[in-house]
Structure 1
């Protein structure tokens, strides 16, 4: 009975395998290695893996532990986390250094040490790399599409009464942060040039920002009311879905795209030294990006964009589904239907 139950779980896993094999995988090339790994998993781990794969990471799933000691005694060509990510998420994945562990994993922070390793593929994200060559939607040359200006400030109003932020606005769109408190950032949600709802203070190390999420908690954009919404805003909000995971880590702030559509990220620390303008990076579904680098931020004190006014060196801007800048029809982020402003507390 137990064998038939495990066999049923394995059959359910194979039904959810990525349709297209990787460039190095012939028909069934990974099957023997995968079955060898499945045999090493305890019954509860195998069930957790099935739940994670069938939900495609939509719900909260537990860690799938495999013993490092057992792995050392095998001739497994691929690390287990790479194997399962290639089977169920990214067929073209090659190396473990292309992956980043998410804060929902119990092994987050020190996962490379210890007697066991979590290989849940939905506890991992793929590192976002610069677009090379430029995307097919580009209408301009590669150089002009790399660094995008964000010079038009939104018409902002002071925080509403009852909001925890006590900052004031030096210039439209540029926030003077409140004194230090227990939160490490505050989230502002915008629709075009209008901020919707109150600032949302974040106290935990990570926060989910979403419209639809079967399980979990965080900043629910779906609950924010608005008097009227354009067709473009409603269409874009329908694409936010599971949204993104924002996490504060040792090296900086990471953004993980949980939705089924791209997000676009801009911050002062994403640019190259001496290059004019702020970059906008496209982050595909399932990918993570170091959106704000603490080490680089230390060198940006008093930083100004050439030919422009002051720019807040402690902020991140993220647009859902729609990009902005010279590569797009929207020159500024305020033309995007739905976007976030992440206001970081000074270090």
Structure 2
């Protein structure tokens, strides 16, 4: 693969719709209603293991005292906690803060019942929403999630009592019976860990390709194959672009509800149905027998290349963890961080140097349930060109989207890509090959590009990255190996 990625002839700059911007601003105004005491954690210890997690709870007036036996019972239900470790001290402090801030004394018993029975048919365990409004840092002893990862009490207690590897609320889906789940915007928020389920990636059906090396295409299909390099195969959407743009970018407090999380039971049922369908006689493609090619995950879900202007800098970063940060700092060995500050360039310009100083916490990428999200952690916006996102919103394929600080955007979906690939196979080899562009996402820091900027292309921006999605790219490769090359096809 060439060092310099593909480029479109026309780059367009699209700003966040006004209604979406107002939505984010309203969230922030609401955050400002929290008292200053809850906004500024008060450090009461000089120990290195102090952590501000749940600091809002600690700083507010306490509602209940702590019963030693109750605390002991709750501590026994923690997952994968080593005694006297940093996690042990962190989780104990968090649980103490929770007990003191429960809105009703009876909820202590409700919480114990939920942990003992591990049932979703238990009562809500609520704390004041104001106690979790301020984003807080995670346990610094957990290296995978250290630095720049903001978590909420819901994530913290789900991590303590159910999923130690949980990273973000985007991985959680509240059950239907919980009336105080975090997305309902009520004054009380439920932290019962068994009122939430983890998002499960939906089953992706295989695509069917001709098994014959002499596939026959009619003249109409042959003409359709002559697709321009910058074009994509059209898709139908149920909602209008205006409706979709309203939810294109979300504030940290909002929930990505534009995907359906599936329970393991539902996923297994769908998989069985797909297997039964595959056992039926192979479908026909213009009279040619076809065979299924399934999607498979790769050891590294994405590879990231860093550029300054039109020059690639440093080695390729291969991401194996489902959550990673691209930042401007200097750790060269972290598996969950691609630190651009440690990369050297003898040809670095003063503009690139100034831009690198402003990257700061950068951007966080999540791969959750077969979908990729980008969250801006920096104090300056990031600019993203995602053909998959543009296809979803029916924008021009070269559209550049601005993501403000502390907002997130879904930039890729395996399910959407599977539908796109399935529909594109009928157009032939070249049309399928053009989908490789869908599997690459370009992102610049601090400086944007497009029609409204003096930088017309991303290769004119000081600092930028290109993200290659390896799973979809490997799937495309498997399909292309089965399709006849353009020179071998005949038209009748």
Partner of 1:57: none
CA distance in 2, matches of 1:108, 1:180: 20
Q: Which has the larger radius of gyration?
A: 2
**1:23-172 to 2 correspondence within 5 Å?**
30-31=34-35, 47-50=52-55, 64=94, 66=98, 70-71=102-103, 82-84=129-131, 86=133, 105=167, 109-110=171-172, 112=174, 116=191, 129-130=247-248
Partner of 1:295: 415
User: What TM-score does the superposition give when structure 1 sets the normalisation length?
Assistant: 0.54
CA shift, 1:278, in A, is 2.6
Note if contact 1:189-1:340 (Cα within 8 Å) is conserved in structure 2: yes
CA shift, 1:230, in A, is 0.8
Partner of 1:327: 452
CA distance in 2, matches of 1:212, 1:343: 22
Which of 183, 192, 201 is matched with 2:309 structurally? 192
Partner of 1:241: 360
Partner of 1:218: 337
Note if contact 1:128-1:283 (Cα within 8 Å) is conserved in structure 2: no
Deviation string 1:306-344 (CA, Å, 9 cap, x unpaired) is 9xx775111111100111111211111111110010000
CA distance in 2, matches of 1:230, 1:314: 30
CA shift, 1:85, in A, is 6.0
CA distance in 2, matches of 1:82, 1:34: 12
CA distance in 2, matches of 1:209, 1:231: 21
CA distance in 2, matches of 1:52, 1:329: 48
Deviation string 1:236-262 (CA, Å, 9 cap, x unpaired) is 101111111111101411111111110
CA distance in 2, matches of 1:87, 1:180: 36
Q: 1:294 to 1:334 in 2, by over 3 A?
A: same
Asked if 1:250 corresponds to 2:362, the answer is no
Partner of 1:281: 401
CA distance in 2, matches of 1:210, 1:109: 22
CA shift, 1:263, in A, is 0.5
Structure number with higher strand proportion: 1
Q: 1:299 to 1:220 in 2, by over 3 A?
A: same
Provide the secondary structure at the position in 2 that maps to 1:280. Answer: strand
CA distance in 1, matches of 2:325, 2:27: 31
CA distance in 2, matches of 1:296, 1:219: 27
Deviation string 1:251-299 (CA, Å, 9 cap, x unpaired) is 4111111111100111111114654333221111111111212222223
CA distance in 1, matches of 2:456, 2:299: 36
Which consecutive residues of structure 2, in runs of 5 or more, have no partner in the other structure?
Answer: 1-25, 40-48, 59-86, 107-125, 137-153, 157-164, 179-189, 194-244, 250-295, 473-492
User: What TM-score does the superposition give when structure 2 sets the normalisation length?
Assistant: 0.40
Cα RMSD for the two superposed structures: 4.9
